[in-house]
Structures are given as structure tokens and as C-alpha cells.
Structure 1
Amino acid sequence: MDKEKPKIYSETHSEILELRVFVYGTLKPGGRYHQPCCGDALTAAIPAVVKGELYDFARRGYPAMTAGDDWVKGYLLIFEQSAEICAEVLRRLDRLEGYRAERSEAENEYLRCWVEISTPDHQPLGQSWVYVMRREQVLLQGGCYLADGVWPNSENISG
């Protein structure tokens, strides 16, 4: 996973940009934070996969992804909007995920990384942002490994 950040802001704020974010938990379509964080800014939600490992925090009601060689299943969210709107969406997502660029990795709950993304049948879709947690943090917090790479799975669906 690459922590180098691509430029998403234009100098004029009138240019239409494409913000791409892979989501695998509460930000997926139908998830509890999808509408509040993505709202009407979302252009498309495409089923997708990325390399990593997925863990469940059942008592907290959300998952975490770490680096790994498995496939995590989720959605590529695409926002084709002005730089201002893309920046606001990214600020909302960063706030939800406990990420601030100026903090160290250890001080952030999640890290925002730039990764390769694919369709579910492994055709390349380019790159996108994804929020990942450090493996040490996942293990410290009692994360339960989800071998199928899907959240929620049959054991953690509630209501």
C-alpha cells in the first residue's frame, strides 16, 4: 500500500475531479455511514476487491482492513465533482475514520492509503484511496479475522 498522496485539489476549484475511495464496511451502499458521509456527491458505487485482510470488531459494529494477500470485497465509490466538494467528502471520511495526515501512524485509528483496485473477477480498475488499520492495532483490539473478506458476514449481521 502506497502512502504517497495523489493531488486531488485543483487550483481553480471549478475543475471537475474524480475522487475514488474503496469501502468495505459501514461506508458501503446501505451501510450506516454511507448516506451521511457520501450524500448526493456520489457518482457511482462499483463492486470491487483489493488485496488485504479483513477483521471484524463485533462489539463496535465495524470492520478494519490490514495489508495482506487475501481479497477484501467492497465497493469503489466514485465522486466526480468540483475540487471543493471532493475535498469536503474526503474531510468527512477522514473524520469518520479517525485519520489526520499531520499525525503519526500510531496516533491515527486508520491510515489513508493509495492502492490498486480490481473488479470482483480481478480486472484492473486503477487505484483508489482505502482506509486501513495497522495489524498490531487490530490484534490489540481483538479483531476477528474474516477469511471470506466480506463484512458483514453471516455471523455478524444484526437486525
Structure 2
Amino acid sequence: MLTKSFNNALKSRQDSQTMTNLIHVFVYGTLKPGESNYQRYCQGRVIAQRPAVVQGKLYDLSLGYPGMVAGDGIVQGVILSFSDPNIFIDLDQLEDYQPHRPPEKNEYQRQQIPVFDLNHQPLGLVWAYLMDMTKVQVYSGVLIPDGCWKNRD
């Protein structure tokens, strides 16, 4: 699956960092274009966007948003590119992530992960918010088999 491309993605990290000074964030839930938090947090701030996939598993938390965990499945989403490094102030607040707080106190962890185009070719590393499986279980998360979340309200 994507595991074979993992090393290529890591090798392309330097290339992706030198190509642009933009901040690339993989979004898979309410921050996707057309979803509930896109307009508030991203509208007018996104320089570019691109459909993409990452390796992981996606869960519907029945709270109006999903949680992604590390895993061997495919999660579909969008790479949003920002020029303003202060974007993390707003996104971290939305995702209840504080870098200096103990991980178990955060809702999500912000991490760099390999990302792939829709043909599973490596694009490099992007930032993403991942949830711990323990939290998914606390929220009675239900696996989304196709890895594509849409607000079901």
C-alpha cells in the first residue's frame, strides 16, 4: 500500500521544504473546503489546495467531526497551503492542541506525516492533527471504511 512509498516521502522532505516556504496542512474533517470550519479558519488564508491521501484510519466521532489515527488504511483529504505561520495559533486552538502540554491532555497531536497524491505518489511531509486511539474509543468512534468524512448533519 502506501508503506512502500514512506521512505520516498521522507527523502522528498527536503525537496518539499526548499520548493516553498508555505505551511502545508492535511485536513480531513471540518477544515476541508465546504465543511463547517473552513470559512472561519481558512477562507482568505489558503494560498493553494490539493486533494491528497495519507496512511491512517478515520473515525466518525458523532460529535460533528472525525478523528484520524495512525494505521494501515487510507484517509482522503485536502492539503491546504498557508503563507502565514500564525495559522497554527488558530488551528491549534480549534484542535485543542498545545505543544507544551502533556500529550494526554491534548485532543489531537500536531505531527508531520507523509502525504501522497491521488495516484499514491509521495508529495513529502505535511502537518496533520492525529488523535490517540484511546480518545477515539472514549468518543465511541466508528471506523469510516472508505477514509472519507463528510459532515452527516
Q: TM-score, normalised by structure 2?
A: 0.84
Residue 23 of structure 1 aligns with which residue?
27
Structure 1 residue 142: Cα displacement? 0.3
Match of 1:57 in 2: 61
Structure 2 counterpart of 1:86: 85
C-alpha separation in 1, matches of 2:131 and 2:72? 15
Q: What is the CA distance between 1:19 and its match in structure 2? A: 0.3
Q: Give the aligned CA root-mean-square deviation in angstroms.
A: 1.5
Return structure 1 stretches of 4+ with deviation > 2 angstroms.
none
Alignment deviations for residues 28-51 of structure 1 (CA, whole Å, 9 cap, x no partner): 001111121112120111000000
Matches for 1:53-132 after TM superposition, within 5 Å: 53-58=57-62, 60-79=63-82, 81=83, 85-87=84-86, 89-132=87-130
Aligned mates of 2:26, 2:107 — CA distance in 1? 17
Q: Gaps (5+ residues) in structure 2?
A: 1-12, 14-19
One of 145, 148, 151 as aligned partner of 1:147 = 145
Secondary structure (helix, strand or coil) at the match of 1:157 reads coil
Greater helix content: 2
Q: Is the 8 A contact 1:112 1:131 kept in 2?
A: yes
Output aligned runs, 1:24-39, within 5 Å.
24-39=28-43
Counterparts of 1:143 and 1:104 in 2: how far apart (Å)? Answer: 23
User: 2 CA distance for matches of 1:144 and 1:90?
Assistant: 28
TM-score, normalised by the number of residues in structure 1:
0.81
**Hey, what does 2:52 align to over in structure 1?**
48
User: For structure 1, which runs of at least 5 residues remain unmatched after alignment?
Assistant: 1-5, 7-15
Aligned partner of residue 55 in structure 1, secondary structure:
strand
Identity rate of aligned residues, in percent?
41
Letter in 1 for 2:137: L
Q: For 1:157 and 1:138, how far apart are their aligned partners in 2?
A: 18
Secondary structure, counterpart of 2:124 in structure 1: strand
The answer for the alignment partner of 2:5 in structure 1 is: none
